[in-house]
Amino acid sequence: MQLQTLEPPDDIAFFIVEGTHRIATISMNDYGFLLSARMAQTYLGRAEQVIDNKRGFDREFFTEVSALKNTAVQIGREYAQFETFCADCDRFDHLQTRNWREWLSKCAVRAISRSYRGTVSHHLAYKIRLFHSRLSAVLTEA
């Protein structure tokens, strides 16, 4: 799916506002870990496109723009790994147990994985909020 390019200042402002709302939704984990990870990847893809399509950067912004692109790619990879982990956890949650020992083990693993997902989600949400803040600053300065 090809996203349309953003160029006029109103479109940049719309991207910043929409991104802020999306980041808030991701941070609050309103739709669960898996959908939050997918939303984050969509946002990061859009952010990369905005960075690529932004024209008129001075030399002083070039380093910051390159760093932002690299950060977006890195966070995107982390979210992809997190999405895979969440999908695996969901599949594990649907496995049938044959006896009470398996059921008890499954409950323990689910509790540990839920805690881990919460920690990772919180950490990634912090990273993406920081990224959005830096990107917004660069887009409004340029």
- Counting other chains too, the contacts that 75-78 makes at CB distance below 8 Å and 24 or more residues apart are 75/40, 75/44, 75/124, 75/127, 75/128, 75/131, 76/40, 76/41, 76/44, 76/45, 78/124, 78/127
Size of the chain in residues: 142
Question: What pLDDT shows up at residue 109?
Answer: 92
Question: What pLDDT shows up at residue 10?
Answer: 67
Average confidence (pLDDT) per 10 residues, the chain, 142 residues: 54 85 84 88 89 68 82 93 93 91 92 92 93 88 68
In this structure, what DSSP letter does residue 8 have?
A: S
**CA-to-CA dists, residue 85 to 92, 97, 108, angstroms:** 10, 21, 17
Q: 120 and 82 in contact (C-beta within 8 Å)?
A: yes
Residue 6 contacts by C-beta under 8 Å, 6 or more apart in sequence? 12, 14, 15, 49, 50, 53
Q: 12 and 6 in contact (C-beta within 8 Å)?
A: yes
Q: 46 and 3 in contact (C-beta within 8 Å)?
A: yes
